[in-house]
Structure 1
């Protein structure tokens, strides 16, 4: 997919006929409707300078009554490993385990690197098509690609810098000790562009939980990075890994709020009491969970985690690559899936579900008071063809325009 928008405005400018949510209508104390009104918005230096009463007669850009929402954020994706842009390829039944996939990657990465810049840009364009302006993206650190995956990803992001931003996770996809990736991880950790130190299933890949996590944690501490561990393991090893990370975050307060566990499928196989207890511990350690909202046999306890204040990040993970063919790139579709999985069906519940794809920024607070947008907020927004956020989530509504740091791109 080519970039689906054209640059319409940047710098200082104004929009009229911008639809914003202003409150809830109630019946018998239940929310039955979201109220909206049209406003004019002034943009300056990448910020929302002022929100004011609408002036439909003004000679400024016309938002055409589309609903303004915070731009979406994909908080777990692999921009460096997509097959998007290449001929269709389904998964092979021959590759069943992570180690099978590691061996396969070692074969195909040299060829994929030849076009990874262009394919990363195409995947970014797909995300933008659906209103995403920011991603946390993992990139491979392995003996086959060295730092080349990072270099190519950085080129793609530089080419997209006006319309898209990302934070980067150095991800040892082939293990730390299973293949000797430690020297490369140390090299990557020194780079300013790298924000997080990643990891992968320490017991099943490297044969040790403590040794892998101790190295990862120390590397993060030494270079003032965050941590984001891919954890597919369930049962005892999965829970031991989760608890070990929580303990280290509590011992090292500088890791609080900067430590994340991606997938954490072990949490989906606990009793209610066990779930409540681990949710308490995650909250105490300020350890977040990044989920692609799996919908096969594992349904994550997202409502319980949210109840205890655990930071939940949502992402597409794999988008049409050799790990999974199901990722669409559409974050609103992820919100829709969350609503369906957990029975969020009312106007109020659907409006709250938007938070999963905007990183907790939503227009109305729990009491229906407008809390976004306000003066000084980042000018990173979408214009959606919907009457309110509840409809946008339920109907996976179309994105008509995308704004990143004040750069406005309108669908052509």
Structure 2
């Protein structure tokens, strides 16, 4: 049977591997191993997958990568881990992956799960003037109503992400006087409801400014909870003072052993000063290296080439990452320059459909495709490298074509995709056929 024409019925027979789109199993379904898939799609016990396509190396011609080699394997899943990768064995007791390509599951590293219109009737963005501060005023009006059903909408949004191959998200969550900690509590409930099939880390996000709306007391309260990062927003534009806001943010992170992830939209002198000030603060506090990020950081796209190189080198040395939504048009971020200087670059959808934006698809693979187009990563090798934007790092093959994923002991977080290799998956934004999270078959 051709793997690209497998029907819903065929894949149900194979433990739901290969269902097109997100379709949670409504009732218990027996699978070939005798185990059971419950309502949330979680496999209760350990199992083996057969006919799993993995990348094994590159094919070269005159020193150029012209194709990606693959082969079929059997994979043992045990205790949420990949236990063993073995030569393919046609066992009757194994779940058949039907020759689909297995890749690391995806991560959306910048999204707002706590405030969305997703799951409600279509609503376009309204005309607005006054920049971010006008949006703060709008949020103060609409957030009380949005909070009434934010848990259910967050769950629907998570399901959209899963359908696109995403198993994990970094979600910013509003912490400000309008929501107090209610937005956080509602999202935490949604994540608890999805804990067997989805993972997340949370950023306490002062969407209305740290001091502009006196969010500082609520941020201090949130910092004592199980959030992972202290967020920030345009300290000069919103709060009117770079040093005061940044010092507060950095100290709160240090005091509570959290990371930092700051929205920085400012593209002028204040944006550059904020970047440089954060670099200095992280260098003064080395334990923040590797756990500090700038989201958007549009100012990098406005600098001349030599300044981009200088700042990228400093960001890389300080261990400060950039989380970009891959903007295009009049603003093109210097992502190749950042990667050259070993800056950790990740991506996310940001808004899916809300009062800020309605163009989010939920697919970080689409973001990797966009980056490949923008920056000319059109070869087999270049396309394969862009997959790391979707996975937030892991790639099946290293730069020399040596297999580095999966290995025994890796977390069992993977997707099955209708593509012959990573390069094709990025170029064609290939269809996701199955998602596995911590060994649980989600669909």
- What does 1:102-117 correspond to in 2, within 5 Å? 102-117=136-151
Q: Are the equivalent residues in 2 in contact too, given 1:84–1:122 (CA < 8 A)?
A: yes
- What does 1:84-233 correspond to in 2, within 5 Å? 84-191=118-225, 193-233=226-266
What is the rounded CA distance, in whole Å, between the counterparts of 1:383 and 1:230 in structure 2? 33
Q: Are the equivalent residues in 2 in contact too, given 1:16–1:58 (CA < 8 A)?
A: no
What is the rounded CA distance, in whole Å, between the counterparts of 1:16 and 1:377 in structure 2? 18
TM-score (norm 1): 0.97
Moved beyond 6 Å, runs of 4+: none
1:4 matched to 2:4? The reply is: no
Where 2:49 maps in the other structure, the secondary structure is strand
Q: Tell me, which stretches of 5 or more residues in structure 2 are unaligned?
A: 1-20, 26-40
Q: Deviations over 1:11-35 (max 9, x none)?
A: 3110000000001111111111111
Q: Deviations over 1:105-149 (max 9, x none)?
A: 000001000110010001000000000000000000011111000
1:394 matched to 2:392? The reply is: no
Question: Counterpart in 2 of 1:248?
Answer: 281
Offset, 1:284? 1.4
Question: Counterpart in 2 of 1:369?
Answer: 402
Question: Counterpart in 2 of 1:263?
Answer: 296
Q: Deviations over 1:295-351 (max 9, x none)?
A: 131110000000000011111111111101111101110110010110110111001
Q: Are the equivalent residues in 2 in contact too, given 1:293–1:334 (CA < 8 A)?
A: yes
Question: Counterpart in 1 of 2:88?
Answer: 54
Q: Are the equivalent residues in 2 in contact too, given 1:339–1:353 (CA < 8 A)?
A: yes
Question: Counterpart in 1 of 2:380?
Answer: 347
Offset, 1:58? 3.4
What is the rounded CA distance, in whole Å, between the counterparts of 2:433 and 2:77 in structure 1? 18
1:317 to 350, 370, 374: 350
What is the rounded CA distance, in whole Å, between the counterparts of 1:312 and 1:381 in structure 2? 21
Where 1:294 maps in the other structure, the secondary structure is coil
1:78 to 93, 112, 121: 112
Question: Counterpart in 2 of 1:338?
Answer: 371
Where 2:228 maps in the other structure, the secondary structure is strand
What is the rounded CA distance, in whole Å, between the counterparts of 2:233 and 2:194 in structure 1? 29
1:20 matched to 2:54? The reply is: yes
* 10-19 or 69-78: bigger deviation: 10-19
Q: Deviations over 1:48-89 (max 9, x none)?
A: 000000012432100011100000000000001111111111
Aligned pairs, number: 408
What is the rounded CA distance, in whole Å, between the counterparts of 1:218 and 1:388 in structure 2? 45
What is the rounded CA distance, in whole Å, between the counterparts of 1:94 and 1:381 in structure 2? 41
Offset, 1:95? 4.3
Q: Deviations over 1:226-273 (max 9, x none)?
A: 001100001210000000000000010011111111100000011111
Offset, 1:96? 4.9
Q: Are the equivalent residues in 2 in contact too, given 1:3–1:122 (CA < 8 A)?
A: no
What is the rounded CA distance, in whole Å, between the counterparts of 2:180 and 2:94 in structure 1? 50
TM-score (norm 2): 0.91
Question: Counterpart in 1 of 2:29?
Answer: none
Where 1:354 maps in the other structure, the secondary structure is helix
2:64 to 26, 30, 34: 30
Where 1:9 maps in the other structure, the secondary structure is coil
What is the rounded CA distance, in whole Å, between the counterparts of 2:179 and 2:379 in structure 1? 48
Cα root mean square deviation, aligned = 1.1
